[in-house]
Amino acid sequence: TQLLEQSPQFLSIQEGENLTVYCNSSSVFSSLQWYRQEPGEGPVLLVTVVTGGEVKKLKRLTFQFGDARKDSSLHITAAQPGDTGLYLCAGVSGDNDMRFGAGTRLTVKP
């Protein structure tokens, strides 16, 4: 069973700041997904990355998959209070075997 470690566990920043959160593993994944979860709701898929070195952008969010497909990062530019939430990464291996990290809880203060 692969272990996904996310860091930092908690992050509190002011509106307008930039931030990066990380998802690391010793295992190789066929793809990796990032989700955001708000209180009282289920996780919502943000992006899927499948190719080593791949970079995807979603407005102010930039996702990168490591060259070796073992790690990923999420960078947010000019964070806004609406970005507040729990950011989860999930690694997919084999045929649809997906495991989640514990998440990074982000708070963006106005």
Task: Write out the residues near other proteins by the rule CB under 8 A.
Answer: 4, 6, 30-31, 33, 40-45, 48, 50-51, 88, 90, 92, 96-103
Residue with Cβ nearer other proteins (14 or 96):
96
Peptide bond into 8 cis (omega under 30): yes
Residue with Cβ nearer other proteins (45 or 58):
45
The least distance separating other proteins from the CB of residue 67, rounded to whole angstroms, comes to: 15
Burial grade of 88 (CB within 10 A; 0-12, 13-18, 19 or more)? buried
The least distance separating other proteins from the CB of residue 88, rounded to whole angstroms, comes to: 5
The least distance separating other proteins from the CB of residue 18, rounded to whole angstroms, comes to: 24
